[in-house]
Amino acid sequence: MAFYAGRIIREPAMENPTIVVLTDRNDLDDQLFGTFSRCQDLLRQPPVQAESRAHLRQLLSVAAGGVVFTTIHKFFPEEKGDRHPVLSDRRNIVVIADEAHRSQYDCIDGFARHMRDALPHASFIGFTGTPIELADANTRAVFGDYISIYDIQRAVEDGATVPIYYESRLAKLDLPEELKPRLDAEFEEVTEGEEIERKERLKTKWAQLEAVVAHGERLPFADATFDCAVASKVIEHLPEPERVLDEMWRVVRPGGRVLISTPYRERIRYVLCIHCNQPTPIHAHLNSFDEHRLASYLRQGRFGFTTFGNKALLLARTHVLLGRVPHWLWRLVDRLANKILPKPAHTVAWWDRV
């Protein structure tokens, strides 16, 4: 953005333009202002940050020149419902909108409308990493077609960022060796009388693991289908975890178990999302659980739980080393750490259907 601003300032046809750098957050405004302030030789002038609506109107009521930083919220009339007055009808004003997928679409009665009323002949250019195309919010409809695209692939090739890899979280299923002979015997008993060819087909079919994509609140299985239903690091992401737990309970047969793992007594922290400009929980964790809250679910089942992991050890990143040691040694260190500093990080809870 700074290089673009410097280029058009130097363009003779622009006749000493005014540059307005627009954001929708104070911290982003401060960040960009700091960057542009270090480029005064490129810009041929020091940038100025609007401190108020009155200050913004003063900065834009000039005959030429200027690099003005402001948030879109400062484009607001004196009285709600009024039309914003024209601040300048010059055509050599360029508005550079950062994070252009946000706050730029209320063109009927909102900040975007007020800004265009204030600068009716200005040109607009948008910078964004996530353009959107919705019925009531379309980045290209507001700013025009793409001028330049710098995607993640080019960034990786240039060394500007590292490659991104997506790895699915799989529940590893395995059958203990001592149970395999018993399973073979039970299979032979169930398929007694079947032709050999059909028995072999059944072996092939039942030996495969199948993946089913479904909504957690509407599992596509009949009642009492499974011996165990497992949800690993799922319920903390759900707005209504009890609905998924009820559905897991439905598909577990009598004598079966519902089992979950989740962070233990997690402090939910929020950050301001750069995309939606709304407070967003870190890691998309919506809920925090302890044994009391977990015990309030599925009261018809027999509840049990255990904790493991230690927040202090996680903070020290010892799990990188402990992940390479035998399980019994990791468990010993884990229990000792939680005895010295009782800060367990995770819990496993279960409900037996008796």
Rounded CA gap, 84 and 5, in Å?
26
For the chain, percent of residues with pLDDT exceeding 90: 47
Least confident of 172-181, 187-196, 302-311, 329-338: 172-181
Helix (H) or strand (E) holding 250: helix 241-251
The two tokens of residue 231 are 């949800």
Mean confidence (pLDDT) of the chain: 87
User: What distance in Å separates the CA atoms of residue 15 and residue 32, rounded to the nearest whole number?
Assistant: 24
Over range 4-19, report the average pLDDT.
93
Among 124-133, 179-188, 238-247, 303-312, the least confident range: 179-188
Q: Distance between CA atoms of 6 and 40, rounded to whole angstroms?
A: 9
pLDDT given at position 180: 76
Least confident of 64-68, 135-139, 156-160, 323-327: 135-139
- More confident site: 167 or 195: 195
* Three-state secondary structure call for residue 341: coil
Q: Using one digit for the tens of pLDDT, what is the confidence trace for 17-62?
A: 999 999 988 888 998 999 999 999 999 999 999 999 899 999 998 9
Query: Which position has the higher pLDDT, 204 or 116?
Result: 116
Helix H segments across 52-98?
53-60
**Residue-level pLDDT at 12:** 93
Q: What percent of the chain has pLDDT over 70?
A: 93
Cα(173)–Cα(122) distance, integer angstroms: 62
Range 287-316 average pLDDT: 92
Q: What torsion do the CA atoms of 96, 102, 108, 112 make, to the nearest 10 degrees?
A: -30
* Maximum C-alpha span of the chain: 97
pLDDT at position 210 is 67
Identity of the highest mean pLDDT range in 124-138, 179-193, 340-354? 340-354
Does 119 score more than 70 pLDDT?
Answer: yes
Determine the topology of domain 215-352 in CATH: Rossmann fold (3.40.50)
Residues 63-93: tens digit of each pLDDT: 899 999 999 889 888 777 678 889 999 999 9
Q: 260: closest CA among 228, 226, 232, 297? A: 232
Per-residue pLDDT, 9: 94
- CATH classification of 2-158 is 3.40.50.300, yes or no? yes
* Identity of residue 127: F
- Distance, in Å, from the CA atom of 101 to the CA atom of 137, rounded to the nearest integer, reads 8
pLDDT in tens, 198-241: 878 877 776 666 677 788 899 999 999 999 999 999 999 999 99
Q: 77 and 57 in contact (C-beta within 8 Å)? A: no
Q: How confident is the model at residue 349 (pLDDT cuts 50, 70, 90)?
A: very high
The answer to whether domain 2-158 and domain 215-352 are alike in fold is yes
Q: Can you give the pLDDT at residue 274?
A: 59
DSSP letter at 83 equals: P
C-alpha span between 275 and 102 (Å, rounded): 7
Across the chain, where does the E strand assignment appear? 18-23, 48-49, 67-71, 93-98, 123-127, 226-232, 252-263, 270-272, 279-281, 302-310, 344-352
Over residues 171-199, mean pLDDT = 77
Q: What pLDDT, in 10s, does the model give residues 278-292? A: 788 888 899 999 999
What average pLDDT score do residues 126-134 get? 83
Average pLDDT score over residue span 118-134:
87
Angle at the Cα of 192 from the Cα atoms of 187 and 193, rounded to 5 degrees = 150
Q: With H, G, I as helix, E, B as strand and everything else as coil, classify residue 39.
A: coil
Domain ranges for the chain, please list them: 2-158, 215-352
pLDDT in tens, 232-269: 999 999 999 999 999 999 999 999 999 999 999 999 98
